[in-house]
Structure 1
Amino acid sequence: MSFVGKVLVVVQVVLSVCFMGFAGAVFTAQTNWRNESLKLKDNVASMQKNMNELESEYSNYKTEMTQKMNDALSQAQTAKAANDALKAQNKSYQNQLETVRAERDTSVAQAETTGEEANFRRQESDRQRVVNKTLHDTINDLRANIKSLEDTIFTKSIQEKTLTAKHNKVLEELNYLNKIVSNLGIDPNDPAIAGMQAPPPAVEGVIINTKKDKRNGTRFVEVSLGSDDGLSKGHQLYVYRFGNKENGNRPKYLGKIELVYVDPDTAVGTVIDAAKNGVIEKGDHVNSKL
């Protein structure tokens, strides 16, 4: 073998080793990128789950805070109305008191004219003093009630400010969560998301049609309820049938459906839980609560 041939053989061996190392590096890098991709997918799924839990907690918290704020406002309005009524009653008592004082002064002046008449007027004055004392005591009680109601109004005002601050804080947290949801590429106004965020309202309707998909065996049920009744895609309804005299008129549970399509007046759902001893038929009833 000539010298040039030997050099070419050596060069070929060196290049083979280099290509082998390059292939190993490419394989290692590909494996690392694949692991990173799986980790990112797991992180996205975890963040989605946390977001759903936060949205559920926020919905419950918002409902509770709104109810408390409405109750506080109602109590404050009731207290204010009672306060106005007491003020009007107090003014009426003051007018009565002025009238009684005028009558007493007139009686005293007339009592000084004659002795006999004076004794009578003195007795009348004593009676008027008793009335005056009663009126004074009543006025003092009313003033105490007014002071108590003013304190109540002040306390309710502080509670209202606190609830308003909490409400604003919750709104800020909601805006922050909406930004996170938007960054994840999820539309918060999606009907499916809305259906998962809140339970269905208390509704009751009937099944107007049933159909079975021959390809995959899925059973579809059309109900007489829709978005006008507060339903959304993803809501679940229970199916039952009214009883008869043989079973004591007790309703019979037939299964549960999940809505997959909703329009204003009707909705279509798939059977996700069917009772073993019953078949869902047209005319059966659906309800959002058992």
Structure 2
Amino acid sequence: MNFLGKCFVVALFVMSCAFMGAAIAAYGAHRDLQAEKQKLSETLRQKQSDLTTLQGQYNRLESELTAEAEAARARAQQLETEKVRLADRNAQAQLALDELRAQNGELAAAMNATQQNNDALASELTTLRSSIRTALADKDRYFGAALAATEKLQSVRNEIETTAERNRDLLADASRMTSLLRSNNLDPETPVEEITPRVDGFVSRTQRKDGVMLVEISIGSDDGLRPGQTVEVFRDTKYKGRIEILKTSGDRAVGRVDVRFQQGPIQEGDRVATRLKLS
């Protein structure tokens, strides 16, 4: 092969490479164009869909606006009708007001005349009331004095009757008490404070405080016990000692053990009495 043939072969090869590059470039451009076309087609479909939606909204809004306009026109007609009716009522009310004003003038004149008559009657009534109050005051004063005297007399009578009845009851009570005291070998002339009642109870609690044995017993002022009196302590037939009462309440009393008479330990449950009844 000569040099010219080699040049043709090289030229063909170069041209083949050029055509192949052009073909590849054309294929790439075609593919890019296809992708762009697809994208634009999708965009077009989306815009058409949006346009359809917006058209539907526009039609709906236009229908609503038309309905609202019709309603507004109907309301305007109703308001116009109401305006006419209110104007008629206002005219009628004005006529009625004029009539009432006229009647008010007549009533005011009648009221003035009535007021003058009332003033005259009130003045006369005041005079009569003053006279009545004076008469009633005199009557009440005289009646009160009579009633007070009657009540005082009745009160004196009641006091006399009550005193007499009370005196009879006291005499009867004194007679019974004298008989009762004598039947119990007591002198009726002995002061009550010196009489120790006959009671019977038990020791409910003991406590030693500052070297002194304190005892709480189950009998108190309701049973006749008073501070300063003494009670005897025993269990069964055994004598244990004496308690001097220091303080009393209704059903309780507190005392201290008199060590001079103590003959055994004093405990809860021991019996106490103002008179020994040992058996």
- TM bin, normalised by shorter chain, reads 0.3 to 0.5
Higher relative contact order (CA 8 A, sep 6+): 1
Q: So what's the TM-score if we normalise by structure 1?
A: 0.33
